[in-house]
Amino acid sequence: MRSNKVVVITGGTMGIGRATAVAFARAGWDVAVLARGETRLRSTARELEEVGARVLAIGCDVADDAAVEAAAERIERELGPIEAWINNAMATLLSPALSVEPRDWRRITEVTYLGQVFGTLAALKRMRARDRGVVVQVSSALALRAAPLQAAYCGAKAAVGGFTDSLRAELIHDGSGVQLVTVYLPAVNTPQFRRARNYTGAGQNAPDPVFDPRTCAEAILRGVERPEREIWVGRSTWAMQAIQAVAPGLGDRKAAQMWDAQLDPTVPPASPGNLYDVDEEDPGIDGPFGDRTRPPGAEYVTSRTRDAASMLMGVAALAGAGALLAPLAVAAGLSALRRR
């Protein structure tokens, strides 16, 4: 039975965004998809309509604030009040920082950071008046622990965190019922790995472990249906957050070792890639790493679990029994990495 609830998903025609659109449609939501590429928009709309959703597919570059605002206005006019907005659209390239041209830095920042800002503001303009709604920022483990060859993307995703935390404090101050959720993702098997602009001379590789986009979609849907401050998908994301908090210097050295792990010399680099222009192919949800992708299933930790584990460890230390209770606290946190 359909609920007539409306969700907006940016970058919703490929990879994680498309998997998320399908997940919401199957859960009874009506879906608005904002993305570039008419072929993908039409294909995605057909797929969602087959599930039974009302669909609105809008060609939109999220770096254009006026286009995002116009899309939000049209969605509410044609589908109804927006209950959830998923900021998923992103842009990146693979290159040493010194080889990235200024216009590329600007473009990645405009799409990956400002695109989330513009989407959030368009959603809040409507949600605050109704005192309800959820905005999900789709982020990355690379916002927590940056890696080489992706400085522009890592910087943009880190900026999203600062923006979201500041805005959340403002909403709390105002007593607003609108909620902000950030979902941090690991390496995911999406078509983007063969489409991102690349100046390295080798193809882009996804270092293990690689996760299924549908796992990410499940976490995003969960973030809307049961909002919590943050969700970390995959054990690798949890580990990257932990090492950055406890031993950032060690994290630097480990990250430096990821240079070669991100390169595949057997595959040509994407050139020019989709940073500015989008191809009209319809690659769907999955990328090229299916042979080593973990099967779909819930595998994530929420901030509620993280906070509970931290509290247990604090109590253990204060009681002078850290050696006995701290492992139990860690086990409690790890048990939340559910797998079905």
Q: Enumerate the active-site residues.
A: 153
What are the residues whose beta carbons fall under 8 Å from the beta carbon of 314, sequence distance 6 or more? Answer: none
User: Is the distance from CB of 67 to CB of 61 less than 8 angstroms?
Assistant: yes
Nearest to 149 by CA among 230, 92, 216: 92
User: DSSP characters for 234-274?
Assistant: SHHHHHHHHHHHH-HHHHHHHHHTHHHHTEETTSPPPSS-S
Are the CB atoms for 145 and 244 separated by under 8 Å? yes
Rounded to whole angstroms, the maximal C-alpha distance in the chain is 62
Which residues, in sequence order, are CB contacts of 85 under 8 Å at separation 6+? 7, 8, 119, 120, 122, 123, 127, 133, 134, 135, 136
Q: Cβ of 12: how many Cβ atoms within 10 Å?
A: 30
Residue pair 269/201 in contact (Cβ under 8 Å)? The answer is: yes
Rounded distance between C-alpha atoms, residue 119 and residue 134, angstroms: 12
Alpha-carbon span 213 to 285, nearest angstrom: 7
CB 138 within 8 A of CB 86: yes
Report the alpha-carbon angle 97-102-104, nearest 5.
80
Give the type of residue at 284.
G
Tokens of 276: 């500015």
State both tokens at 302.
């929420």
- Unique residue bearing structure tokens 């060859």: 149
The C-alpha R_g of the chain, in whole angstroms, comes to: 20
Give the distance from CA 285 to its chain's centroid.
Answer: 14
